[in-house]
Amino acid sequence: MSYSVKEFGSNEEKVVLSNSYLQIEVSTLGATLVSLRLLRTQDHRDIVCGMKDAEGYLAHDKYFGACVGRIAGRIDQGRFTLNEKEYQLPQNNNGNSLHGGIHGFDRKHFTYEVMQEGEVGSIILQYTSVDGEEGYPGTVDLTVTYRLDHNRMSIDYSAVSDQDTIINMTNHSYFNLEGHTSSTILDHSLRVDSNELLMIDEDSCPRGNRLQVESTPFDFRCEKKIRECIEQDHEQLRLGNGIDHFFIFTTDQDQITLRSPDSKVALHVSTDQVGANIYSANYLDGSDIGKENIAYPQRCAICLETQNYSNDINIHEDATCILRKGDTYSSHTTYTFEVEE
Ligand code: BGC
């Protein structure tokens, strides 16, 4: 296990942490996963999309590798009621609030420390979001921990608030197991332990209606190529411009497998969250120039955004995203990589 720190521009840094299986780079801007290299591949391939420097992240709004909050996904009309008080958030996406608003956590500076215990290393990042920031109540102390242990990376979120508030964090990494320079994930295989998903409307917002995946393109209960879903004709695929849906898990571990076309690299995702918003990079269009001057085209990667139910605050009275004063929010996801050497 070793680590180093590099300048990242705009007064930000990136921390590079490696063991003999994995190397990650995490930026103090947005606690963002800038790169993830599989050191057991011949080419030490970097399997997440990202930008060269902090300016790159600040100039784009695709949330490459970002720590997304306070609320991942959409809040209908940016409006919600908590303890009988109505809150209005910035409406930054077709009238809805997306991914924590205009200045979400992806744009905030985090402080960090690095811890090493034998073969296990962690980057622990911290940010305090003040009461009223982006329209949300309560001052929230957030800790994000990236941990490397052999062939496994985990991401943990932990937060407390001095008032009742709402929170639902995720990591927005765009994965391509052939490397971030590869132009498509259509021939990757995907498995998701999910019988149903949240249907979306024209504005991509889920409003509580569910779709049983059986006999639809969204049935990933057995591993299949992503192309076999996306190339079908289905209203939900049209509305999302591809896959952009919250899949509700039926199991409480090892819920997702993503496999490269040659089957030599696999990613297994295991989480304590109830589901994941799975997004097939539908709104990338080649205009974002990332690391190594790569232009990222549509469907060049897939996001596996483990989190709590989307827009739940407007659907359920006792919404899962409510964090009461004095309670601790937590979320834990592990990403295990298998490489055929
Ligand atoms: C959303 C997409 C959105 C993307 C932003 C995803 O999590 O569900 O609709 O376009 O993030 O990059």
CA of 282 to the centre of ligand 1 (A): 8
Amino acid 121: pLDDT? 98
CA of 247 to the centre of ligand 1 (A): 14
Amino acid 286: pLDDT? 97
Task: Catalogue the E-assigned strands of 10-91.
Answer: 12-18, 22-27, 32-38, 66-68, 74-75, 79-82, 85-88
Residue range 28-69, pLDDT digits in tens: 999 999 999 999 999 999 999 999 999 999 999 999 999 999
- Distance between CA atoms of residues 34 and 32, nearest Å: 6
Q: Tell me the sheet residues that pair with 147.
A: 122, 154
Best residue among 67, 203, 244, 282 to mutate for probing ligand 1's pocket (most ligand atoms within 8 Å of CB) is 244
Length of the chain: 341
Best residue among 75, 99, 296 to mutate for probing ligand 1's pocket (most ligand atoms within 8 Å of CB) is 99
Is any atom of ligand 1 closer than 6 Å to the C-beta of 305? yes
Amino acid 150: pLDDT? 98
- pLDDT over 90 (residue 114): yes
- pLDDT over 90 (residue 176): yes
Collapsing DSSP states into helix, strand and coil, what is residue 238? helix
- Distance between CA atoms of residues 119 and 113, nearest Å: 17
Mean pLDDT within 71-87: 98
What is the full DSSP assignment across 303-329?
EEEEESPTTGGGT-TT-TTEE-TT-EE
- Distance between CA atoms of residues 68 and 108, nearest Å: 10
Is any atom of ligand 1 closer than 6 Å to the C-beta of 244? yes
Contacting residues for 110 by C-beta, under 8 A, at least 6 apart: 28, 29, 30, 31, 67, 125, 126, 127, 144
pTM for the whole structure: 0.98
Residue range 274-333, pLDDT digits in tens: 999 999 999 999 999 999 999 999 999 999 999 999 999 999 999 999 999 999 999 999
Is any atom of ligand 1 closer than 6 Å to the C-beta of 74? no
Q: Which helix (H) or strand (E) holds 229?
A: helix 226-230
Collapsing DSSP states into helix, strand and coil, what is residue 76? helix
- Distance between CA atoms of residues 173 and 323, nearest Å: 25
Residue 84 neighbours by CB distance under 10 Å: 5
The two three-digit tokens of residue 256, written as one number:
């997702």
Residue 190 neighbours by CB distance under 10 Å: 22
- pLDDT over 90 (residue 127): yes
* CA 67 distance to own-chain centroid: 7
- Write out the catalytic residue numbers: 172, 305
Best residue among 51, 63, 67, 247 to mutate for probing ligand 1's pocket (most ligand atoms within 8 Å of CB) is 63
Average pLDDT value over all residues in the chain: 98
Amino acid 187: pLDDT? 98
Mean pLDDT within 176-181: 98
Amino acid 230: pLDDT? 98
Contacting residues for 254 by C-beta, under 8 A, at least 6 apart: 193, 268, 269, 270
- pLDDT over 90 (residue 341): no
Amino acid 111: pLDDT? 98
Q: Measured at the alpha carbon of residue 131, what is the angle toward residues 129 and 135, in degrees to the nearest 5?
A: 95
Q: Tell me the sheet residues that pair with 102.
A: none
Amino acid 119: pLDDT? 87
CA of 283 to the centre of ligand 1 (A): 8
